[in-house]
Structure 1
Amino acid sequence: MMARSLLRSNVMPDHLNASSLLDLARRAQARAPGPCACTKTPLEGWQSQPLSLDETQLREIGTLMPEDDPEPTFAEYLPGKINYWSAQAPIAPHYFPYNRCGVWECSSCGRLYLRYVEGGGYFVDRRIRALQWTLIEDVAP
């Protein structure tokens, strides 16, 4: 059975601020509180997008990319000794990499994911992280 979508399918992805992201994440978690069978790879922290995740199940429902900023900051918000890859790293929409993310919904389980493309000199890495409302922090740069 397909999960009911949080947003109408004919709506283009909207810019989400921290407050709207938090609301969306809370509603999604209330609808899909149990474990996910959509991928075998845990996605609590940033991961390269696993091949086991069927990308056709994902639909972009929003973006954290600032509407009026063509080149958002690369500064990270990692308080204490938390690192980028940690499952406990805060989700801070004003900071990298969140300020370059799309918010994607799985049509199978209803969970939400953050996705962006990490680019380097000779590579491109599509990264994904499960959206957990308890980690969202609205801190200004």
Structure 2
Amino acid sequence: MPAYLDTPTLIDLARRAEAAAPGPCACTKTPLDGWQSQPLSLDESQFREIGTLLLQDDQEPTFAEYLPGKTKYWSADAPIAPRYFPYNRCGVWECASCGRLYLRYTEGGGYFVDRRIRALNSALIEDVSL
């Protein structure tokens, strides 16, 4: 299992990746600033998992969301709160082509499974307690 990344480590990794790869990723034509269903055109082989936000000893991570004000789950400006859903179920992945970092998780519903992806933006990470 990938190593657990606490919030200060996540912020540090995100800032370093942003400094090394300023500007948007050209690896996908779909904007990934907010959560998106993973585009079919995204090349899986260009990503490597570098860590997880899922605590190993957490038997049942919360489904509570942290969406202050009028932010929505799909919004590009929605905060990234690692202790809240869906972030508490995410892997942190690095694009081998551009070095940018992405959050990925699998949303499971009654009749579907949807792989979702969002670009990691250090300015949106909030260390908020449950």
TM-score (norm 2): 0.98
State the distance in 2 between where 1:56 and 1:16 align: 23
1:95 aligns with 2:122: no
Identity over aligned pairs, percent: 79
- 124, 127, 130: which one aligns with 1:135: 124
2:109 to 112, 120, 127: 120
Q: Distance in 2 between matches of 1:111 and 1:15?
A: 19
Q: CA deviation at 1:36?
A: 1.4
Instruction: Pick the aligned partner of 1:71 from 56, 60, 68.
Output: 60
1:56 aligned onto 2:81: no
Q: CA deviation at 1:37?
A: 1.1
Aligned residues: 130
Q: Considering only aligned residues, what root-mean-square deviation do their CA atoms show, in Å?
A: 0.8
**1:14 maps to which residue?**
3
Segments of 4+ moved more than 2 angstroms: none
Stretches of structure 2 that go unaligned for 5 or more consecutive residues are: none
SS in 2 for 1:96: coil
Q: Which amino acid aligns with 1:40?
A: K
Q: TM-score, normalised by structure 1?
A: 0.90
Residue pair 1:64, 1:93 contacting (<8 A) in 2 also: yes
Gaps of 5+ in 1: 1-11
For the residue of structure 2 that corresponds to 1:105, the secondary structure is: strand
